[in-house]
Structure 1
Amino acid sequence: MNSKALELNETEKEALNFKKLAELEKEKIPTIQTIISKENLSKNIIDMLCYLELKIDQFKNSAYNPSIIDWMKTTEELVTRENKLSLADHLGPMSGWPINRKMELPKVSRMRDAVSRKMEKCMHPDGTEQPQRDEYHYPVVSMALAPLIRCDIQLIEYILLKAISLCNPTVHGLSEHGQTIIAKERQQFSDVLLDHCLRNRSYGPSRFVELLGIISVLVRQQRLQKDIHIYHISPIISKFPFSVQFLDEIMYS
């Protein structure tokens, strides 16, 4: 209510309630409320993740070649150190990649491109395939490719699913505070993925469930890869003159 719009006589203007109303209006600070719609919020998150994915692709294909000292660092040291993504812009792409010239692959993530091209291969940024199909651990390394190809996953779906998978609050060793933060992030990315499916698929809810079902495959793959590392790879690298600390921390967690 605007007190100045009231028609009052002199006696009414001296009333205590009127004076209080006038004082409150003087104390009011004008504010501008910006309402961000759910659609805009989802778009902002998707744009952020797509930009991050682009920078990661550039970094993987860059001329950055870490020294052996990086392999000796702990997981905490790697996570808390200075972000190195900007080195991709400074160093530029690795010369001579891809090595395998028989396959013309674009200058984006070749691992992701192999999924988009329905190729059941584990492609590295240099264009090589590793492991080879006849190696014993190939089925484990490539087991996530089949469901991704089968569901014809699209770029935004892939990026959001990766964000959801990485934000795993059940990782061993996380503090209660850390679990709360990561669980909140995972829920946010899940909400965006659901919103994206509802807006872009005629069968949005079932598509959302189909994509989340791939996470169980990734969890199983993770466990199998840890078993392979512990029983097959670890005995080999234990003979090295240095230890790969961050890898041991991940595989034995």
Structure 2
Amino acid sequence: MDPLAIQMNIDPRKNKMIMNIVGKRKIEEETALVPSTSKISNNNVPSHLRSIEDIAENLIDNLIYVEWKTDVFRKSAYNPPAASLPGLAQLLSATSNLSIADKLGPMPNWPIERNISMEKEKQMLKQGLRPSYYNRKEKKHWLAFDLLTIIEYAKTFPVIHQLSEQDRIVLLKSVSLLCYNLQQSWFSYESKSDTVIHPDGTPPLTMRYFGVEYSKKSILPFMRDHVDKKEYCLLKAIILCNPATAGLSDEGVQLLTTERERYSRALFLYCMANRGLLGPAHYAAVLSLVDMIEHQAKRQKDMHLLLRIELPNRCRVQLIEEVMD
């Protein structure tokens, strides 16, 4: 995967983190072309002889690659109608669709101008009406699209394909909303917003119902603890690989336990290397973000149930219904 080929609003050559990884990849490629007189070449070092730190660093690099692709996918011109999205089983059985973003490029005409107060918008939605900006072709159904994004993100993990079909469905039904909330909060924090926003500049539906202060709560922990991108990527992988998900088979639990331990170990090593004596406390602080997003997910499911009652004729999206059930 070439990170410089990813469509981004900001020139990737100005991003120090990206260029560091590109540099390491180039060194690896050049080293592979140099004949070695050693019986063990640099590229064939057995995994048990590699340092734990090197393994953790490679793991983090791979997660950052996936996150870049995911971010490009979110910002792309790809915008399927929410009602056309299939359920979890069909999405998980299909090949990854992240690469479509490279073909379509970024969505034009963002950010979207709303020209309506949040309270007025809330009243219109309760009446079954749609604000005019909802009809713009650049406007995405963000709950549906971001859940789709999480499914595509999950399919980049080899462990997901090692699970049985039933285990994949059970897992993603449980963790998709958690990853969705973490992804939204990180994007908003990285965009230097103190409230949750979508890539097109619009606020989420939850802000209209729960208020601005509720939205701020999901950003404050990132600001308070100065969480960085590598820590976020590792936490997202930890949340995805949840062996405690109810309904998993014994084999699925074992696979996910092993995978989660890899990411947890990498996060701990990274915190220790970058935070010094504060490493253990920071590691605990990063993991504590899970409690916040679990609380968010519970409130969102409650809100979804209330909307079903208030708006019984509202168009339902299969993917959303399965995740919210």
- With the length of structure 1 as denominator, give the TM-score of the two structures: 0.74
Residue 259 of structure 2 corresponds to residue 185 of structure 1: yes
Residue 57 of structure 2 corresponds to residue 43 of structure 1: yes
What amino acid sits opposite 1:37 in the alignment? S
Aligned residues of 2:195 and 2:215 also touching (Cα < 8 A):
no
Structure with larger Rg: 1
Cα deviation code 1:65-114 (max 9, x no counterpart): 1134533x22121222121100010111111122259xxxxxxx985343
Instruction: Provide the residue aligned with 2:104 in structure 1.
Output: 91
Cα deviation code 1:188-236 (max 9, x no counterpart): 1100000001111121111111111111122222222211212x22235
Residue 240 of structure 2 corresponds to residue 227 of structure 1: no
CA-CA distance at 1:141 after TM superposition: 5.1
Instruction: Provide the residue aligned with 1:56 in structure 2.
Output: 70
What amino acid sits opposite 2:281 in the alignment? S
State the number of aligned residues.
213
What amino acid sits opposite 1:85 in the alignment? L
CA separation in 2, counterparts of 1:74 and 1:130? 22
Instruction: Provide the residue aligned with 1:105 in structure 2.
Output: none
Instruction: Provide the residue aligned with 1:27 in structure 2.
Output: none
Larger helix proportion of the pair? 2
Instruction: Provide the residue aligned with 1:74 in structure 2.
Output: 87
CA separation in 1, counterparts of 2:185 and 2:201? 9
CA separation in 2, counterparts of 1:160 and 1:33? 25
CA separation in 2, counterparts of 1:194 and 1:182? 18
CA separation in 1, counterparts of 2:89 and 2:231? 29
* Superposition pairs of residues 146-185 of structure 1, within 5 angstroms: 146-185=220-259
In the alignment, structure 1 segments of 5+ residues that lack a partner are: 1-29, 102-108
What amino acid sits opposite 1:225 in the alignment? Q
CA separation in 2, counterparts of 1:132 and 1:215? 19
Aligned residues of 1:167 and 1:183 also touching (Cα < 8 A):
yes
Aligned residues of 2:234 and 2:263 also touching (Cα < 8 A):
yes
Aligned residues of 1:63 and 1:91 also touching (Cα < 8 A):
yes
Aligned residues of 1:62 and 1:94 also touching (Cα < 8 A):
yes
What amino acid sits opposite 1:90 in the alignment? K
CA separation in 2, counterparts of 1:95 and 1:132? 25
Instruction: Provide the residue aligned with 2:321 in structure 1.
Output: 248
3-state SS of paired residue (2:56): helix
Identity of aligned residues (%): 33
In the alignment, structure 2 segments of 5+ residues that lack a partner are: 1-38, 115-182
CA separation in 2, counterparts of 1:33 and 1:84? 33
Q: Cα RMSD (Å) of the superposition?
A: 2.7
Aligned residues of 1:60 and 1:125 also touching (Cα < 8 A):
yes
CA separation in 1, counterparts of 2:106 and 2:69? 12
